[in-house]
Amino acid sequence: MNSEFSDRAVVVEIGVHTRIGIYVPSSDDYRFFALGSAPSSLEAPDFDLTIGYKAAIADAVANAGCYAFRTITADDGFPVSVVTGEALSRGPTAFLMGNLVARDLEALASNVALSGFEEVGRATTSVRDFRERVDGPAAIDVIASHKPDLIIVSLTDDSEGDGIEYLADLLVEGLAGRESHYIPRILLLYGGVVPPAAVDRVKMVFPTQVHSISGGTPNQPMDLQVPTTALEEEAKHLHQDIFDGRVIPEALSTSPHMSRAVGLGAATDQLAKSQGLDVTVIACDHSDVTVVVAHGGTTKLAQFAAGDSDNRPFYVGFHTPIDRVARWIPDGLLPQAMHSYVVNQTSHPTAIPSTTSELMLSHAVWTVGARGALTHPDDGRRLIKDGSVDLAVLTGEVTKYIGRPIQAALLMINSLETWGITQLALDSASALAMSGCLLETGIPVAIESSLIHLGSCVAVRGQANVGETAVAVEVHPEGFPAIEREVGAGSMDVIQWEAGVDAEIRIWPSAKFDAGLGYGRPIRVRSKLVSGSVGLVIDARGRPLEWPEDTDERKARIEQWYRSLNAYAPA
C-alpha cells in the first residue's frame, strides 16, 4: 500500500464525534479502509474544531498503522475530499406550497430531502383550487416563524392564474410586509404558461427562479427531472457560512461540503444498483433517524428529526412518545426514567449506556424513530408498503450502541416489520454516508466495503393463537447435518451454523401464514445463504405486529423475543 496521500480519498464527518474515513484505491474503485474518531470540539466550551480534528487524525493513523501511513502525524492532516455531518449544518431548509396530488407531492418531498434540504413545513392541497383550500395567512405565519431558506411552490392546473395571483399576494403583502428583514429564495414550479405580471411582483421582492413542469395531473405523474435539477441548483446557491464564530482547520473550511442525507441517498441507490436488490438503509443518529428506500429503480428518503426552531440538535428521544417506546421494553418504562435518560443524552451526547436497561431504552427510542420516519404523519401510509425488503442496512451513531450483532438485526426487523426473506447488514464504522458523499463528488466507491453481513430473517405475515405452529424451517449447511426448527405464532427464534458455510433454506408456513409466496405455500430459497454473525432469524410474530393489552402478558411476550435470540445480557 504505502501510496502517496493523493492516492487516498478522505472524508471528514462532523457530528457528536469528529470522524475521519480513509479510502484506498483498488482496481476499479476506492474501498473503505480505516476510521478515526474523537469527540467533537466544535461547540462549547472549545468552539475550536482543530482539537477534535487532530485527535481523530491520530486515531485514524493508529487504526490504519504503517501499512497505510509512513510518516504522518496528527499535526500534518490529510488532503480532504469532502466534509459532511449534521453538526456543521443541517442543510438548507425548505417550505412546500402548492396544489399537487398526493402522489406527486410525496415524490417531490422525497427529492427535496435527497437534494439536501430539511423540510420545515408545508401548506398544500390535492384539490386544484389553491386559493380556496390553503389557509394562506396561517402558512405565512409558519414561514415567518421557521424562516426557511427556500419556499418551493408547485402549481398545476392553474389555467385561470388564480393560484399564482394568490401566491403573489401572500408573499409580497403578507411576508415581505413584516419588519423581519427575512428574504427567502422562491422556487416556482408551474404547469402551463406563467402569468408574467404576478411573477414579476414576486421577483421585485424575492430572488425567484421559475421553471415550467409537465404532468402533475391525477392521470399523469409530474416529470421530476426539471424540479430535481432546480433543487440541486438552489442547494448550491443556499450554502451558508457554517463556520461563523468557530475555529475550523483550513483543510476543512476550504473543502467541498455535502449534506449527510445526500450521501445516504447516493450510497443506498448505488448499493441497490450494484447488488440488484431492493435496499433499505436505517441511519440512527443522535438527533434524528433517516430512512432511505431504494425500490424498483426509485430512491426515497424520510426523516424523524428532533430540534428546535433554530435547528439546535436535541436527542431524538425528545420526540418519541413514551407509550410507543415502552412497547419495546419488557419491564415497561417510567416517565421519570425516560426523562432522565433523554436529558442526559442531550447534555452528554457521547455517553454510552451503562446498564442493560439503558441499552434497551436507547434501542427502543431509535426503533420508534425509525418507525416514525417510515410512516406518513397524516394518513399512516408506510414508505415500504408490504414490508418486503431484499437487504436492510443499519448505520449511524447507533453502531456505537450495539453490544451484540443480534441487537442490530432486531432493531432493523422491529423498525421495518420485514416480511419474507431479508438479508441484514451492519455498517459498523457508520461509513455509508461518507461513501455516498465521495460518490457524489465523482469518486468511485465500493459501497459494500464497510458492511458486515449479519445474516438473514424469515418473517411471516398473518395471525394465529399464540403458540400455534406458524412456520417450520430447515437449514441444510453444506457438509453438516440439517437443522430443523418449528416456531409458534407470536414467537421468535434463531438458527446458527458454521461461519462461511453455504446453506440451503426451506420454509413451510402454516395455512394461516405467508412467507412470501402465499398463505401455506412452502418456499425453497433459490440462493444459498451464509450464516453471518447472527444466523437466520425466524420471526413468527405475524404482520402487522400486535401487542397484548394485558401488561404481564406483554412483558412475557417481549421477554420471550429477547431471550430466544439471546439479544441482551440479563439485567
In DSSP notation, 336-384 reads HHHHHHHHHHHH-TTPPP-SHHHHHHHHHHHHHHHHHHHB-TTT--BSS
571 CB neighbour count, 10 Å cutoff: 10
Question: Which residue positions in the chain have pLDDT lower than 70?
Answer: 1-6, 44, 66-78, 86-91, 128, 177-180, 239-246, 306-313, 332-333, 377-380, 571
**Strands 391-395 and 279-284, bridge-based pairing:** parallel
Continuous H helices in 26-146: 49-64, 102-114, 130-133, 136-146
Number of H helices, E strands in the chain: 15, 24
**453's grid cell:** 453481513
For residue 504, what are the β-bridge partners?
A: 476
Tell me the per-residue pLDDT of 30-62, one tens digit each, with 9 for 90 and over. Answer: 999 999 999 888 776 777 888 989 999 889 888
Buried b (16+ CB within 10 A) or exposed e, 133-170: ebebeebbeebeeeebbbbbbbbbbbeebbbbbbbbeb
For residue 267, what is the enclosing H or E element? helix 260-275
Report DSSP state, residue 174.
I
The pTM assigned to this predicted structure is 0.77
pLDDT of residue 426: 98
pLDDT of residue 240: 47
pLDDT of residue 308: 47
Closest by CA to 261, choosing from 114, 395, 369, 109, is: 114
- For cell 470540539, the residue is 41
Residue 569 class from Cβ within 10 Å (0-12 exposed, 13-18 middle, 19+ buried)? exposed
Tell me the per-residue pLDDT of 163-214, one tens digit each, with 9 for 90 and over. Answer: 889 889 988 888 876 666 788 899 999 988 888 999 999 999 999 999 999 8
pLDDT of residue 380: 63
d(CA 283, CA 290): 5
pLDDT of residue 1: 36
pLDDT of residue 409: 97
Q: Is 293 in contact with 300 (CB distance < 8 Å)?
A: yes
Tell me the per-residue pLDDT of 264-292, one tens digit each, with 9 for 90 and over. Answer: 999 999 999 999 999 999 999 988 899 99
